Structure 1
Amino acid sequence: MSARTLPGNPEISVKLRKNRRARRITLRVSQLDGVVTLTVPHGVSEGEAMRFAAEKQDWIETCLSQHEKSAQVAPGMSITVAGQPVDLVRGTGKRLQVAGATIAMPDIADHGRKQLQVWLKEQARVELTRASDLYAARLGRAYSRLTLRDTRSRWGSCSSAGALMYSWRLILAPKPVLDYVAAHEVAHLEEMNHSPAFWAIVNDLYGPHREARGWLRSHGASLHRYRFDG
């Protein structure tokens, strides 16, 4: 994959991706990181592909303007935990201190971000285990294990062996949204598909789920804007 640019202020970086199986030129602007990808079929020149991208520049700029910029967590910011706002402030000790709706981060920035991420993952494991246990009991099926990852393409999965995987960033979403994802994945213990029978199980376990699904479609990408690296 190579990179090219479209002129502008600022310039727009475009990643060219050649794909022999593609039937036409396509453009995609990632909701997660704002990366612009131009997929080029076999037999189409780079110049022709870039002319196509130039014709779509107004659309690209509109998409980029709507994309939320990533933000490195730091004192002075607010984040959401289980949908509730939490203020990050500068602490005086070496350990993360959680008090109600306030989290005091250690003075050493790198340590503070890492400790905050560890704490959020711990909260995610508690909440996702709670929800998964609840829905598995209702379904009468047991899952084999539960793991957390920082996935960007899916919020959860269920393997044929009954292993559940979730994005730990669900702890940043409203609690009903986290519960919906748990119900969705637990339902796969019974139906490994998205058939009407599967959705009937989700409805039995969770109840009406259109609002939760809609929240993920509209706001899910914003959960990835928070950065915890150095």
Structure 2
Amino acid sequence: MGQHILPGDPPIDLTLRRSGRARRISLRVSGLDGKVTLTLPHGVPEREALAFAAEKQAWLRRQLDKRPDQQAIGMGEALPLQGVMHRIALGTGRRIVAKDGILHVPGPEATLAPRLQAWLKAQARDRLAAASDYYAAKLGHPYTRLTLRDTRSRWGSCSSAGGLMYSWRLIMAPAPVLDYVAAHEVAHLAEMNHSPAFWATVDRLYPGYEPHRRWLRENGTTLHSYRFGD
């Protein structure tokens, strides 16, 4: 439906969207890019939706203030790798090397971000495949395929056909957090729900998972703050 601006200091950009499935006016702040979407059902006037957004302005600004600052990727900057902060420095040769808290990235700085992103995705695929293989063998249920995405609403999923999907940004989380997500999704191969039986399966695959689940709830949005120009 277009863009609108909610006045204030600073003004807030709103994207208005009509939905035939919506039953009420709603506001959503993206955890990935901070985009604010105002959704309204068919038949509801725009002015009514904008008035709703104005009424919710204090709440909206609190949600935006909670978002971590966007962090660009460049020489001298830092980002987490398996939960450990690494400073980005110019490397030699042709390969990216992580050593002693430093990510040595060769090549021109103009292409640093996409090359580092590709490297992180490769690291994520290796780690997630190894973890998924381990937990699938422990469960006795093989999966059919593994894909990586940059999802904003979930860290992983399991399809009814046995396909596993993960966010590649899990490679930036502490290693036990990545392992928990892998165990969680593999458990869905046996239990396609979140019933007590499912959580019992997760606990059998990865005992003591709760602190890692909590870390993701409390810190996961930070992993989305690193922008690679995509």
TM-score when normalising by structure 1 = 0.92
After TM superposition, the structure 1 stretch with the greater mean CA deviation from structure 2, 177-186 or 104-113, is 104-113
Amino acid of the residue matched to residue 10 of structure 1?
A: P
RMSD: 1.8
State the alpha-carbon separation in 1 of the partners of residues 94 and 124 from structure 2: 23
State the match for 2:45 in structure 1.
45
Q: Which moved more, 1:202-211 or 1:177-186?
A: 202-211
The separation in 2 between residues aligned to 1:215 and 1:197, in whole angstroms, is: 23
Matched residue type, 1:142:
P
| Superposed CA offset, 1:101-139 (max 9, x none) | 111233522322122112211211121122112111111
1:62-211 to 2 correspondences below 5 Å: 62-91=62-91, 95-106=95-106, 108-211=108-211
What is the deviation of 1:65? 1.2
Cα distance in 1 for partners of 2:94, 2:187 equals 42
Task: Give the TM-score normalised by the residue count of structure 2.
Answer: 0.92
Point out where structure 1 has 5 or more consecutive residues left out of the alignment.
none
Equivalent residues, number: 230
Structure 2 gap ranges (5+): none
2:90 maps to a residue whose letter is: R
Query: What SS does structure 2 have at the residue aligned with 1:63?
Result: helix
Contact 1:150–1:167 (CA under 8 A) maintained in structure 2:
yes
Contact 1:105 1:113 in 2 (8 A): no
Q: CA-to-partner distance for each residue in 1:63-82, whole Å, 9 max, x for gaps?
A: 11111132221112111111
* Alignment deviations for residues 139-181 of structure 1 (CA, whole Å, 9 cap, x no partner): 1121222222222222112222222111111000111110010
- 1:72 and 1:32 mapped to 2: Cα distance? 14
Query: In structure 2, the residue corresponding to 1:127 is in which secondary structure?
Result: helix
Q: For the residues of structure 1 that align with 2:96 and 2:81, how far apart are their CA atoms? A: 15
Separation in 1, partners of 2:197, 2:92: 54
Say whether the 8 Å CA contact 2:31–2:224 is kept in structure 1.
no
Output the CA distance in 2 between the equivalents of 1:30 and 1:5: 17
- Deviation string 1:58-98 (CA, Å, 9 cap, x unpaired) is 11111111111322211121111111111112346665343
8 Å Cα contact 1:158/1:188 also seen in 2 = yes
State the alpha-carbon separation in 2 of the partners of residues 107 and 159 from structure 1: 39
